[in-house]
Structure 1
Amino acid sequence: MSIRHGLLALLERGPGYGYQLRADFDAVTADAWPLNIGQVYSTLSRLERDGLVEPAGQDEQGRARYAITGAGRAELLDWFASAVTAQDRPRDELSIKLALAVTVPGVDVAALIQHQRAATIGRLQDLTRLKSQGEPGEEPGGLAWSLVLENLRYAAEAEVRWLDHCEAMVARAAKRGAPAHAAAPAKDRATTGKGARR
């Protein structure tokens, strides 16, 4: 998720200052992607530099407020009109961790999968409890919060299914006697095959 576009979306609702924008972002996203206040202010500085936001005076407590510009609004509308691609998403640490684990001798991949499954099921239970505490429309931002919460729940459910599949794949490989760490070291690949040095 682009912090830049998230802040532009919040500023489209009206001018705001850094801490307010962070709190609004956390509320809208059900605290799914907590923002560091330093990220908020550095992003606001870049947005101002790029002409997408502008200073909007100060509030009663003297906090500097920002407002979206016409260029910022156009950027935001372009973002809303474009599809999210796989390249836009952050790296999936879990799939990378498992891919590396099966290449390192001595790693108990089955235990790693079981531990992750337990953690993911715990997260799914927490999300389900949150869902039972509120439904869309009960308060301002309720629908936005519910949309994010449902995304997190479905992602956790999918992760549990994927971990089950990974466990079965690892078990099948073990039955065939295939070493879990069969990937060739980088130094061996450096002179042969795809990605060879020229």
Structure 2
Amino acid sequence: MAGIAAASVGLSENGRNVQAAPEPTVQPSAANDEFDTQLSTLSREADDFADRASRTQQRVDLEQRRREEQKLREADAASKKAEAARKEALRPKFALPVAQKGVGELFGAVGSMWSNRHTGLDFPVSMYTPVMAVTDGTVVAKWNPSYGNIVEVTAADGTQTWYAHLASARIRSGYVKAGTVIGYAGSSGNSSGPHLHLEVHPGGGAPVDPLAWLRTHGLDPT
């Protein structure tokens, strides 16, 4: 406490008046001010530390969630990849070119329609019947005076399958899988009526009997 206290008057044992000594003046201590400052600084530092610790924990939690979400995404991608591989392994790698059973002119037949002999296998189907790729492969569609609208599919082993006398090609280029519709049967080129003419050229070379070739791959169109 600051200031001078008023002196009080009392009686001594002999009856005389005695003036009491004034209370001492209390001055503020520099040490106290310094201590208060230190306490205030420590309090601010404690608050700052708590704030930094909270932000650090938030970053740790966020990183943990990010890692967990990444693991879930990777697990989901791996599961989808495995399922796709399973389906691919089960998918037939060869298919008949038309859904309808039955064949017409056989490979090697002779007649006025061919300059030498019949180089393919005919499927007597109606106009615009969907024609499917027999194998996986790369498609090229073109026009030929004798074959008319023709689509060629080249498989990975180099085997070419030709689909001739089409009304039109559905796919003119690109990669297809067995069973994909690549065109529609017709009677273009040197043809006497609607049908599909199929040829098989192993390694892109001379044609072989498509019926025998189809049967070696578990397919029988008859």
TM-score by length of 1: 0.20
Higher Cα Rg, which structure: 2
Task: For CA contacts below 8 A with separation 6 or more, give which structure has more relative contact order.
Answer: 1
Higher strand share: 2
Higher helix share: 1
TM-score by length of 2: 0.18
